[in-house]
Structure 1
Amino acid sequence: MSTTYRYFALLTPTHPTLTSPSIVCRQWTDASGRVHEEEYTQDLRWRPSNTEQQVLRAELDGEIRPITEEAALRFVEETQPARVRSYEPADGQYFYSVIVTNLNPLENPRALLRTWLSPQGYSMEQAWTHTTGWVNSSYMYDLHYDHLDGDAVGITEEEVPRYQEIAEKNYLEATRVINYRYYAIVDESHPVDDPLTMVRQWNDGDVVKEEQLTDELLWEPADLVGPRGDRAVPLDADTAAKIEYVLVKRFRAKHGL
């Protein structure tokens, strides 16, 4: 079933007309009766928002006015893209930097940025994301007001592709789905439902890797499945989860928790 949207615009002193409002939002109600709201942002995509509630609570200045779907479409296809282009650097030049912290050194920074001064005189900033490219960000603001402990280190435009590759690698690693194979390590006094320990294996390219769940509930490298032979009993994922709970209870009992 198609979603029925209700559209509205936020008018402000700097954007007082329906032909060029400050913000355009859409709302819809799901099957459970919950109202959802999205704003069409300067990243040129719909993102969750709560503009209506902010205005009603006087947290955001402006006036909400209902608009038609056609008016919303003009904002999406014409007004907002033109507005975004108007803030691009007049000379086409960006300044590039990376955000480094104690946990994110220069070789693997927290973020890749580009900054510039808009024709209107605003300091602009965008961060690179593997999924959506350059998006608006606030790292410089966070660094300036000590909301983030780190530094912005300038880089050349020629270095940008290398840092984009690093961001892509980190994203793929963070979102990688690993197909684990689980085993219970058993003996005469520790059957499958209360094993000595549990092991997981997975394939990393052509290499088989293995980890053991230790008494301290940490996964650490191991080599138990091969040497233990028939004492390494294969488990499905549900059984592995139940056994992990058993090992958690054993840990709590050991430490009086």
Structure 2
Amino acid sequence: MSPRYEYYALLTDFHPVLDGSNGIVRRWTDDAGQVHDELYSQRLLWESTRDLAMIENGEWQATACPIPEEAVEAYEAAEYARVHADDPLDGEYSYFAQVEDNTSVDNPTSVIRMWTAPNGHEKEQQHIGGPGYAWKASYIQMDIYDGRNRGDLVPVTEEAATRIIESRE
């Protein structure tokens, strides 16, 4: 049996309307009668939360306002657009290994990717950790140029970058 979800916009004095800066929570009950609360996260996933429980027991001064599923779909679409607003139009990234004196292209200090966003700005991200971790905004290229970081950026293929990331634990 599919769960039946109840959706709530989380509203506060600072965020009195659903505008992307607060959030949406859904509540559902599993077949064993266990209640689950999930927040639509910045990672674009439904993740476990205590937000509704905290509102209900007075730990958090906020309001959980029931909303229809259509509002949730619109919120998800807006969050997706916000998160991906700077993605390259062609979907292509340039990958680099940061190589210092004691590292090699096969075991670099870091792996970064660069691209031009739709607004024309140059973007860069560093992969943080191994498999299951994420790309985070970085400024390694500028830091190397300005002398705040050491090493060189050596171009690598996407496959090589993936292999390096997967080899890290």
Q: TM-score range by the shorter chain?
A: 0.5 to 0.7
Matches within 5 A, 1:174-193: none
Task: Give 2:59's match in structure 1, choosing from 57, 62, 76.
Answer: 57
Match of 1:74 in 2: 74
Matches within 5 A, 1:3-14: 3-12=3-12
Q: How many residues align?
A: 148
Please state how far the C-alpha of 1:69 moved relative to its aligned partner.
1.1
Please state how far the C-alpha of 1:13 moved relative to its aligned partner.
5.2
Could you tell me the TM-score, scaled by structure 1's length?
0.40
Superposed CA RMSD in Å reads: 4.9
Counterparts of 1:17 and 1:27 in 2: how far apart (Å)? Answer: 20
Please state how far the C-alpha of 1:3 moved relative to its aligned partner.
1.2
AA aligned to 1:84 is V
AA aligned to 1:41 is S
Match of 1:163 in 2: 161
Could you tell me the TM-score, scaled by structure 2's length?
0.55
> Could you give the per-residue CA deviations for residues 148-177 of structure 1, whole angstroms, max 9, x where no partner exists?
xxx998745x33622212234x48xx9xxx
Matches within 5 A, 1:50-129: 50-55=50-55, 56-58=58-60, 62-76=62-76, 78-86=77-85, 88=86, 107-108=106-107, 112=111, 127=127
Please state how far the C-alpha of 1:25 moved relative to its aligned partner.
1.7
Counterparts of 1:126 and 1:135 in 2: how far apart (Å)? Answer: 8
> Could you give the per-residue CA deviations for residues 63-102 of structure 1, whole angstroms, max 9, x where no partner exists?
32221111111111x321233245x38xxxx998889xxx
Counterparts of 2:14 and 2:24 in 1: how far apart (Å)? Answer: 15
Q: What is the DSSP-based 3-state SS (H/G/I as helix, E as strand, rest coil) of the residue aligned with 1:164?
A: helix
Q: Percent identity?
A: 28
Structure 1: runs of 5+ lacking an equivalent: 100-104, 139-150, 175-257
Q: Note if contact 1:97-1:152 (Cα within 8 Å) is conserved in structure 2.
A: no
Match of 2:90 in 1: none
AA aligned to 2:35 is V
Q: What is the DSSP-based 3-state SS (H/G/I as helix, E as strand, rest coil) of the residue aligned with 1:36?
A: strand
Q: Which structure dedicates a bigger proportion of its chain to helix?
A: 1
Match of 1:29 in 2: 29
- From the superposition, tell whether residues 153 and 69 of structure 1 become closer, same or farther in structure 2 (CA, over 3 Å): farther
Please state how far the C-alpha of 1:4 moved relative to its aligned partner.
0.5
Counterparts of 2:46 and 2:126 in 1: how far apart (Å)? Answer: 17
Counterparts of 2:125 and 2:14 in 1: how far apart (Å)? Answer: 21
Q: What is the DSSP-based 3-state SS (H/G/I as helix, E as strand, rest coil) of the residue aligned with 2:78?
A: helix
Counterparts of 2:30 and 2:41 in 1: how far apart (Å)? Answer: 22
Q: Which has the higher contact order (CA 8 A, sep 6+)?
A: 2
